[in-house]
Amino acid sequence: MTQRSILAGKNQTIIIKVGGSVTVKGHESDLVTAESKGNWGLTLERRSESQIGRARAAVGDHVLFDVRIKLPPLPSPLRPSTLSGTRPSGREDEGEGKTPNEVIEVQLGGSGEVLVPFESNLKVYAGKDIDVQGINGQVDAYSGLKLNLKDVHLLGHASAGSSMGIDCQTMFGDKVEFKAGRDLRFHVRDLTSAHIRVKDLGGYWEARIGDGEKSVSLKCGGDVTLVTDQEVKPLPPNFILGKIERPSSS
């Protein structure tokens, strides 16, 4: 078992790449702390985004992690009312010693746990399971097996080879698609106006929440469960609804 820590700046972008499974939790600290399980390797370092891209290209095309995806701009400080804004050009929100476009990269050869500051923005890749809890920034996550996002403020891109559970306050973009190999449970709390398209084990159905301003496509090999406190109206041609649940009161 190995543990490493590094000082992170405010609204820090953190890229986590894991061969096995990983649990990522927000904590009241300016440190990023990673702990590996077993005798697998662990590295934790500060790099520029351009360095990350060159490292991806050097190992060829047959890799699990593609970190050349451009990170969408995020406002700072992050607020639901300013999600479409851009990152300020000033330095007042950058951590001491932190340069623009700098990321912290965590690599675990096997499985482990990573603790990050609450306001971090995450991009997580794992060969097996991903469990992310208590993050006030944006989370993008790609798992080979199960994916669980709980108490996350901003949902970015996400996909899972097995089941997926989403519990977020809001999401990035007006036209989004999420895919899972098995069951998909989807709860975005502030989703009050959306056109929902679902394709799961039971077939295809469409529905509208509010005025249907956003487009959400949910596809999985099992069952989709839409969790919302809004009225869901079935749409033609079949006027069919799938599995819909109300949020728990807890």
Strand partners, 4: 34
Residue 83 confidence (pLDDT) above 50? no
Q: Report yes or no: 210 and 193 within 8 Å, Cβ to Cβ.
A: yes
Domain boundaries, the chain: 3-173, 190-250
Q: Cα-Cα-Cα-Cα dihedral of 111, 67, 183, 162, to 10°?
A: -50
* Residue-wise pLDDT tens digits, 11-62: 899 999 999 999 999 999 999 999 998 778 899 999 876 665 544 433 333 3
Span 125-143, average pLDDT: 98
List pLDDT tens digits, range 88-112: 343 344 444 455 578 999 999 999 9
Q: Is omega for the bond preceding 234 within 30 degrees of 0, making it cis?
A: no
